[in-house]
Amino acid sequence: MSSFGRHDTEKPNISPPCKSSSGTASKLETEKPKMGLQSPLRILLIGNGGREHAIAWKLSQSPLVESIIAVPGNGGTATCPKTTNNSSVSAEDFPGLLKLAREQNVNFVVPGPEAPLVAGAVDFFKQAGIDSFGPSKAAAQMEGSKTMSKDFMKKYNIPTAAYENFTDYEKARQYLDSVSHNVVIKASGLAAGKGVIIPETKEEAQKALESIMVGKEFGSAGDEVVIEEFLNGDELSILTFCDGYSFKSLPPAQDHKRIGEGDTGLNTGGMGCYAPTNIATPELIAMVDRDIIGPTFAGFRKEGMPFKGVLFTGLMITSEGPKVLEYNVRCGDPETQTVLPLLSKDTDLAKIMVACSEGYLDSIPITVDNKFSATVVASAGGYPESYAKGDEMTVANPPEGINIFHAGTKLADGKLVTAGGRVIAASATAEGSLRAAVDKAYEGINLIQFKGMYYRKDIAHRAFRPTKATKEALTYAQAGVSIDAGNQLVERIRKAVRSTARAGADAEIGGFGGEVDLSKAGYASDAPIMVGAIDGVGTKLMIAQATNNHTTVGIDLVAMNVNDLVVQGAEPVMFLDYFGCSKLNPETAAAFVESVSAGCRDAGCALVGGETAEMPGMYKEDDYDAAGAAIGVMIPSNRLPKHDVMTEGDVLLGLASSGVHSNGFSLVRRILAREQLDYASTAPWDTSKTVGDSLLTPTRIYVKSILKNLADLKGLAHITGGGLSENVPRMLPDRLAAEIDIASWQLPPVFKWLKTAGNVQPSELARTFNTGVGMIAVVAAADAQKVADQFVAAGETVYTIGKLIPRAAGSEGCVLKNLESWN
């Protein structure tokens, strides 16, 4: 955890009490203790966005808070502890809000959005004797008028983009014609976060200007515009609490304003966010405090309007240093949903707000957990243009570490429905890495369903891009192999395959092998179940061809097939191979078939036949392709997986792999090419071998050791293409998931090198390679040690890597813990 330091400015020795409208100290104030508002707090929270839900969520954790009334609130605040929604009065009706506050004994007001603050909500309730969290009406104009804020920055030498203000359309049009640099056009008034246009051409700029000033796209907010220089760099958002003198900032966050992935398309209110950011170094934060935040609050005081509340400072980190894009006088959205979950459990948001209101923020500790946080916003289809409302939604309960914050939602006839453009968001925190937090946030998004739902799939992409100190993060998909496309193909052809079902064979795909129950196919009642598997070696063949070493890839071919058979409880009895080429080289073909024979001997099955196809023009020069099929026999009592006896707490045993095996070589070859390593080079991960010889280490065949232990096994997963993430769920029932602790075994040197050289993210590594575990077995907890010992006696290296846990509907079937340990 980290505690934020103090930023104090000398305060006057005497602070006069706030006066009521009659000019005497109000009863509420005379009854206060020396410091702080009298508790319990009964809070009026104005607003209905995701920001307000997050604020209510954190305030409700405070022991000082007795109740929260959200006006009007949303579908999330409706179920938030201590919180009730009230739509009997408009959020803009200050007299109506005051009447409600007095009826409910409210003693503290928290305006969430900018509109009530700019309209003077804090001043209004102060005159009525009720304290509020937020700036005065005068100070709130820093957001209410972009012209005022730009002039303020200029006056107090706060770094910002060059700009001009215009109230005359023709003069603004002429100015646009005269400048050669790219511009940003801002409606000066409030436009619900949408009044900023970033045109890409001069023609777009002129159209935007006309739309704002002539077409009144944003109403009176566009009566005056600010045209400023477009700044290049990375954006940062900083939320800073201030009591008029002292200030304390939360971790800098980075928003994603554009609707499209890759930061393309129209501007929005924000489609996602993450914190902390890798560009916000301690040195940069110190510079921002010294050159921007401190002078800003000093400027407020010099203008006679000390700022109390939270200031949102939007920054662009340029090559010339940080520059201010804008001020907002309230919490940002979705930044609030991202940074509030980073506050420690003992950091009391209610205490912070009261301290800001009453001038003693310097005495309130603010502690931030040493975690990462990410938020993904789900919007209605069509947003930020026209979109539907009133669509029914379902939101499953999130696991610990994930929060669902509602925005454009409401309850209608007891059902949750959409009621806005940015509908809802999933926020998640994680220790160790930002990637873990982002992955969890997307797990949260998977818990949400409604018609037309849209969300960006690249939140935090800027944090994962290569820098001078890093390399581009390579993925299996970038190497030309799409696991997702493969999964889509399976779903596409499932119906066609199912149509071939016959007695004894249900023709279902998705398992490791296919079965025919001969006793149900018209043969003897005691006839066995036949199991078949077919596979190839993949682009590992290219390494064999490049090094002219064909003595191991036949073993790989057998291993890929027989390992898929044995995981279903079958004993492989025969094997057939296929060898295709353009011009037959007898030496190459013979070496290959001899290695197939070696694999069959290891697996205990007979090589009963094969096909050698010579097809001129089909392949390049001496290239060839190979495939194989294994047939096995299974008795019903040995069939795996045994879903009916699998239970929570069953233990996962991992059997060590011999190396990369036969999957992921498209990515391996791409990494080698970028590192300018050929197959004759010394392997960086094993200096006793060449790159080619090390990578051609054959896939381990697990058949004999598994058959010896078959009676004690509940399920098996062969870790091939798709790695741990995709293969482990294939052996599990829908009600159970595998929880695997990545830290329970050492990542082998070859995978460590591939990860570092390719900058492969841990989650991608686990989805592409076997990472040192080629087979995973499910065993009863009581049998785990016995089975592990038996596998060791059979020659295997064994790790206890996890257990089975309950699985919620729609959640992942493989939960990987401690992925960051691979970093």
What CATH number does the domain containing 107 carry?
3.40.50.20
Antiparallel, parallel or unpaired: β 571-581 and 606-614: parallel
Q: Provide the Cα torsion 540, 541, 545, 550; round to 10°.
A: 100
Last residue of a domain, which of 114, 136, 158? Answer: 136
What pLDDT shows up at residue 474?
Answer: 58
Question: Do 268 and 259 touch, CB atoms closer than 8 A?
Answer: yes
Is there a single domain that holds both residue 394 and residue 280?
Answer: no
Question: Do 242 and 358 touch, CB atoms closer than 8 A?
Answer: no
DSSP structural state of residue 652:
E
CATH value at residue 295: 3.30.470.20
Is there a single domain that holds both residue 145 and residue 127?
Answer: no
Q: Is 503 exposed, middle or buried (0-12, 13-18, 19+ CB in 10 A)?
A: exposed
Question: Do 574 and 631 touch, CB atoms closer than 8 A?
Answer: yes
Tell me how far apart the alpha carbons of residues 38 and 25 are, in angstroms, rounded to a whole number: 16
Residue at 761 is within a domain: yes
Tell me how far apart the alpha carbons of residues 138 and 169 are, in angstroms, rounded to a whole number: 27
Tell me how far apart the alpha carbons of residues 401 and 589 are, in angstroms, rounded to a whole number: 56
- Look up the domain containing 118 and give its range: 36-136
Our CA angle for 812, 429, 327, nearest 5°, is 130
Dihedral sign, Cα of residue 156, residue 162, residue 164, residue 169: negative
Question: Do 814 and 728 touch, CB atoms closer than 8 A?
Answer: yes
Is there a single domain that holds both residue 693 and residue 582?
Answer: no
Q: Provide CB contacts within 8 A for 165, sequence distance 6+.
A: 147, 150, 151, 188, 224, 225, 226
Is there a single domain that holds both residue 798 and residue 744?
Answer: yes
Total domains present in the chain: 5
Minimal CA–CA distance to 407: which of 12, 75, 122?
75
Q: Provide CB contacts within 8 A for 460, sequence distance 6+.
A: 254, 272, 274, 374, 434, 438
Is there a single domain that holds both residue 108 and residue 244?
Answer: no
Is there a single domain that holds both residue 128 and residue 156?
Answer: no
Residue 641 tokens, joined: 């997986």
Is there a single domain that holds both residue 655 and residue 629?
Answer: no
Q: Provide CB contacts within 8 A for 304, sequence distance 6+.
A: 138
Last residue of a domain, which of 87, 102, 136? Answer: 136
What pLDDT shows up at residue 467?
Answer: 55
Is there a single domain that holds both residue 100 and residue 188?
Answer: no
Is there a single domain that holds both residue 267 and residue 363?
Answer: yes
Question: Do 112 and 121 touch, CB atoms closer than 8 A?
Answer: no
Which residue in this structure is represented by tokens 């924000």? 270
Tell me how far apart the alpha carbons of residues 671 and 756 are, in angstroms, rounded to a whole number: 10
Tell me how far apart the alpha carbons of residues 429 and 419 are, in angstroms, rounded to a whole number: 27
Minimal CA–CA distance to 611: which of 651, 584, 637, 587?
584
Residue at 28 is within a domain: no
Residue at 232 is within a domain: yes
Question: Do 59 and 133 touch, CB atoms closer than 8 A?
Answer: no
The three-state secondary structure class of 65 is: strand
CATH value at residue 593: 3.30.1330.10
Residue at 256 is within a domain: yes
Q: Which helix (H) or strand (E) holds 768?
A: helix 762-768
Residue at 495 is within a domain: no
Bridge partners (DSSP) of residue 72 are 47
- Neighbour tally for 657: CB within 10 Å: 23
Is there a single domain that holds both residue 108 and residue 159?
Answer: no
What pLDDT shows up at residue 7?
Answer: 52
Q: Provide CB contacts within 8 A for 493, sequence distance 6+.
A: 509
Tell me how far apart the alpha carbons of residues 807 and 764 are, in angstroms, rounded to a whole number: 22
Tell me how far apart the alpha carbons of residues 388 and 381 are, in angstroms, rounded to a whole number: 7
What pLDDT shows up at residue 37?
Answer: 60
Residue ranges of the chain whose pLDDT lies below 70: 1-38, 192-194, 466-491, 493, 497, 506-513, 810
Is there a single domain that holds both residue 664 and residue 789?
Answer: yes
Our CA angle for 628, 634, 635, nearest 5°, is 175
What pLDDT shows up at residue 471?
Answer: 58
Is there a single domain that holds both residue 288 and residue 302?
Answer: yes
Antiparallel, parallel or unpaired: β 41-47 and 108-111: parallel
| Cα 507 to Cα 224, 427, 492, 496, 570, distances in angstroms | 69, 41, 14, 9, 18
